[in-house]
């Protein structure tokens, strides 16, 4: 750029000096020469841009690998996924079981008491056992997150799933089967959120 500017300046001065010695009008020659030199100079610098330094983006909010044990995180993902599978399978069966329970309660009120009472007791016992198993599995999951190094930060997301399962257990014992099912669906939602965060 410096040499182009110098060349244009020298050319302008030489043209002006030549015009002065020839006795020609210096104003017209100098104006044309200056315009040509200026357009040459601006054409040469127009395409060049000064690079501005780019700002580096700040690192994402993910935890650094040094604070997360990759093996523990993978094992936690597997455990959470297993609990989600178990709960969804249970909720499918729970829907059918609750319908059977409602049917046996209707039969019990209808008068066929001996057979309906036996079915109702079996259904209720099976439901209690299943809900207890679900609660115990979720309790073990909470303990795993609380006690495993590298997963303590995720414990706050898992905390409360066993309590929600216990609330579902209490609702089922009080014949509020719909409320119990909704509590378990909320547990599935919470576990899915945990799985996304891991």
**58 band by pLDDT with thresholds 50, 70 and 90:** low
**141 band by pLDDT with thresholds 50, 70 and 90:** very high
Instruction: Report the pLDDT value the prediction gives residue 68, as an integer from 0 to 100.
Output: 67
What's the CA gap between 123 and 36, in Å, rounded?
A: 99
Three-class DSSP labels, 148-162: CCCCHHHHHHHCCHH
Query: How many Å separate Cα 165 from the centre of its chain?
Result: 26
Mean pLDDT of 55-84: 74
Q: Could you tell me which residues come within 8 angstroms of residue 97 by beta carbon, excluding any fewer than 6 positions away?
A: 123, 126, 127, 130
Dihedral angle sign, alpha carbons of residues 160, 88, 193, 62:
positive
Compute the half-sphere exposure of residue 70: CA atoms within 13 Å on the CB side of its CA. Answer: 3
Q: Rounded to the nearest 5°, which phi and psi values hold at 66?
A: -70, -25
What's the CA gap between 2 and 173, in Å, rounded?
A: 90
Q: Which residue has the higher pLDDT, 97 or 75?
A: 75
What's the CA gap between 191 and 95, in Å, rounded?
A: 20
What's the CA gap between 48 and 84, in Å, rounded?
A: 59
pLDDT (tens digit per residue) in 28-55? 444 554 455 455 545 555 555 555 556 6
Instruction: Report the pLDDT value the prediction gives residue 64, as an integer from 0 to 100.
Output: 44
DSSP symbols for 96-143: HHHHHHHHHHHHHHHT-HHHHHHHHHHHHHHHHHHHHHHHHHHHHHHH
The residue among 193, 197, 188, 192 whose CA lies nearest residue 89 is: 188
Q: What is the pTM of this model?
A: 0.59
Using DSSP, state whether 158 is helix, strand or coil: helix
What's the CA gap between 12 and 32, in Å, rounded?
A: 9
Mean pLDDT of 101-123: 71
Residues in the chain: 198
Average pLDDT, the chain: 74
Q: Which residue has the higher pLDDT, 123 or 45?
A: 123
């Amino acid at each position: 750029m410096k040499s182009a500017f110098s060349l244009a300046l020298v050319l302008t001065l030489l043209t002006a000096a030549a015009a002065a010695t020839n006795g020609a009008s210096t104003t017209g020659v100098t104006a044309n020469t200056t315009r040509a030199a200026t357009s040459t100079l601006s054409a040469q610098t127009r395409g060049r841009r000064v690079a501005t330094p780019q700002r580096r983006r700040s690192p994402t909010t993910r935890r650094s690998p040094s604070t997360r044990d990759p093996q523990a995180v993978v094992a936690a993902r597997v455990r959470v996924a297993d609990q989600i599978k178990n709960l969804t399978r249970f909720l499918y069966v729970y829907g059918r079981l609750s319908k059977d329970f409602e049917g046996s309660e209707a039969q019990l009120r209808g008068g066929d008491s001996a057979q309906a009472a036996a079915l109702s007791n079996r259904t209720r016992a099976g439901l209690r056992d299943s809900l207890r198993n679900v609660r115990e599995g979720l309790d073990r999951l909470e303990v795993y997150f609380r006690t495993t190094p590298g997963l303590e930060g995720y414990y706050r997301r898992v905390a409360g799933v066993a309590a929600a399962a216990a609330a579902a257990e209490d609702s089922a014992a009080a014949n509020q089967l719909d409320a119990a099912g909704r509590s378990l669906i909320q547990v599935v939602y919470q576990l899915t959120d945990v799985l996304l965060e891991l």
